[in-house]
């Protein structure tokens, strides 16, 4: 079964509101996109806080030092901006650029089952790590496993529809 976070009609988390900038309602954001400024490519952000969601148009954005700063529709003062701290920034999966065959967004991989070539269940992808050399799948099962995301060497196949990543990996490792 395809996980909900990979459905074209579902939202994908691309960042988080991490603070307030100034007194006019601007927010500091953390971006999960690469490069980080790609978060500003989306004209409407859906902010999810404590189970509720609200759409906000992105009115202005900039890189300021090490921070990303955004001004959102309807947020006009520091108190309103502070209330958004901790909100997840979401966009619809269908709004993301299409991937090439064999390429996947991290959010599509998160939650997938991971199985060895002989069908042994290793757990589910709980996240990914960026190491510089290659990305690494963080697999939570009977214990945590870190599996390099190196296609054909360790990752044999990704089946989003079935919700499974098949790996060539020793379960004892």
Write the pLDDT tens digit of every residue in 63-99.
998 899 999 999 999 999 999 999 999 998 888 888 8
Does 1 have pLDDT greater than 50?
no
pTM for the whole structure? 0.74
Q: Do 44 and 56 contact (CB within 8 A), yes or no? A: yes
Distance set, CA 59 to CA 26, 154, 164 (Å):
10, 43, 39
Least confident of 8-12, 23-27, 87-91, 147-151: 8-12
- In terms of DSSP bridges, do strands 144-148 and 135-140 run parallel, antiparallel, or are they unpaired? antiparallel
- Between residues 95 and 140, the one the model is more confident about: 140
Selected from 3.30.540.10, 2.40.30.60, 3.40.50.300, 3.30.470.10, the CATH number assigned to the domain covering 4-94 reads 2.40.30.60
Parse the chain into domains and list their residue ranges. 4-94, 106-167
Q: Which CATH architecture has domain 106-167?
A: Roll (2.30)
| % helix, strand, coil for the chain, step of 5 | 10, 45, 40
Average pLDDT over residues 123-147: 95
């Amino acid at each position: 079964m395809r996980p909900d976070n990979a459905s074209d009609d579902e939202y994908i988390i691309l960042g988080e509101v991490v603070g307030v900038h100034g007194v006019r309602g601007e927010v500091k954001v953390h971006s999960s996109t690469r490069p980080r400024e790609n978060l500003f490519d989306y004209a409407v952000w859906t902010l999810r806080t404590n189970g509720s969601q609200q759409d906000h148009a992105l009115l202005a954005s900039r890189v300021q030092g090490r921070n990303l700063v955004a001004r959102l529709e309807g947020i006009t003062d520091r108190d309103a901006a502070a209330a958004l701290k901790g909100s997840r920034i979401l966009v619809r999966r269908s709004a993301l650029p299409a991937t090439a065959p064999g390429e996947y967004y991290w959010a599509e991989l998160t939650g997938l089952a991971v199985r060895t070539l002989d069908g042994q269940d290793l757990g589910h992808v709980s996240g990914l790590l960026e190491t510089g050399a290659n990305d690494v799948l963080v697999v939570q099962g009977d214990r945590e496993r870190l599996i390099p995301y190196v296609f054909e060497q360790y990752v044999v196949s990704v089946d989003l529809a079935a919700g499974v990543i098949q790996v060539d990996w020793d379960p004892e490792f």
